[in-house]
Amino acid sequence: MTNLLNAFPLASFIVGPEGYVVGANEQALVLFGRDIIGRTSVEVVRNPNVHDAIEHALAQKTRKQCDWNTTQATTDLVYHITASWIEAEDILVTFRDVTDIEQSLRARREFVTNVSHELKTPLTAMLGVLETLQLMGSSEPEAQQSFIGMMQQETQRMNRLVSDLLSLSSVQANERIRPSTPVDLCALLEETITSLQGLTLQSHSQLLFTPPKTASIILGDGDQLRQVAINLIENAIKYAGSGNILIGLSSMAYQPLLRCKGVKITVEDHGPGIAAIHIPRLTERFYRVDGHRSRNLGGTGLGLSIVKHIVSRHRGRMRIKSTLGCGSQFAIYLPAN
């Protein structure tokens, strides 16, 4: 019997007709402890649903399934349990760990809720403006122009959101495929900085970049790495206000974080900084420190999440350092071989 149980890929034990555990495989001993044989199943799994499932399977000579939510150390776990009647009045109870599946289902539900909410806000605003325009007639051309301007802003906001969602999904789709085209990071940063100079005029900030003496060429995806640079520099311009924004690029023969030769790209601002409590969550989809401010500045809450996935595709790392009142530094480490 033990041999058969040990061949099962899931944690499993057998409960006899008196309710005592009469056999268990190695995974079940690891999960519930080495002393479960001879104890009642109610003692082993203290959960009424599991108990009911075993009772039902025994009484009806059938199979009954249920879910068991538990906590181990500080981790919430979900097991899918099957209690099956087997010969000799025994019940085979198997435990399938479905925590990862449950988590990804929850993440998917949250994502759909967030996207719907983000799209609903500009849509509601547009509907309101359209109704007002309809009632207004053609007698107030100036007010009409201003309402059309509002509609344009809201449409641009939806457009940015949809573009960011598409970028995120295309990055995620290719995340397992490591990019392999040589990319000159110095040229890429110089081009990106030139293309973003226009934005600095409004914020009175300055982008400062001193190119390194040696070329920094890595294997990567040029478009995606450009997106990383754009998102980080745009954030610095948006959130830091006036002041210098320092962009850095350096190579290291050995980068301890990556345990290989690497390059480091930094974007550093002297803006308001970010409180430590927010830093671990900044790369979550739709996480914003100040949602109102981000939306007013045209943010979608997806920029750093896109950066995280691109960096992960390049087998790199991202580190964020920030001090309230002093500024923030976003550092990207990428392998160079």
Residues in touch with ligand ADP (CB under 6 A): 231, 235-236, 239-240, 269, 271, 274, 282, 288-290, 294, 299-305, 328
Between 45 and 237, CB nearer to ligand ADP: 237
Minimum distance, C-beta of residue 227 to ligand ADP, in the bound complex (Å): 11
- DSSP, res 47: -
Between 179 and 271, CB nearer to ligand ADP: 271
Question: 62 φ, ψ to 5°?
Answer: -140, -160
Between 46 and 117, CB nearer to ligand ADP: 117
Minimum distance, C-beta of residue 104 to ligand ADP, in the bound complex (Å): 21
The separation between CA 224 and the C-alpha centre of its own chain, rounded to angstroms, equals: 17
CA distance 123 to 157: 10
CA distance 274 to 280: 11
Tell me how crowded residue 28 is: count the other CB atoms within 10 A of its CB: 25
Minimum distance, C-beta of residue 300 to ligand ADP, in the bound complex (Å): 5
Between 58 and 274, CB nearer to ligand ADP: 274
Residues 247 and 207 sit within 8 Å (Cβ to Cβ)? yes
Between 255 and 294, CB nearer to ligand ADP: 294
Between 79 and 239, CB nearer to ligand ADP: 239
Query: Which amino acid is it at 9?
Result: P
Between 27 and 235, CB nearer to ligand ADP: 235
CA-nearest of 285, 270, 283 to 320 is 283
Minimum distance, C-beta of residue 297 to ligand ADP, in the bound complex (Å): 7
Minimum distance, C-beta of residue 267 to ligand ADP, in the bound complex (Å): 8
Beta bridge mates, 94: 12, 82
CA-nearest of 202, 194, 263, 262 to 230 is 194
Minimum distance, C-beta of residue 289 to ligand ADP, in the bound complex (Å): 3
Q: Which helix (H) or strand (E) holds 217?
A: strand 217-220
Tokens of 173: 């789709």
Minimum distance, C-beta of residue 302 to ligand ADP, in the bound complex (Å): 6
Tokens of 12: 């499993």
CA distance 72 to 333: 34
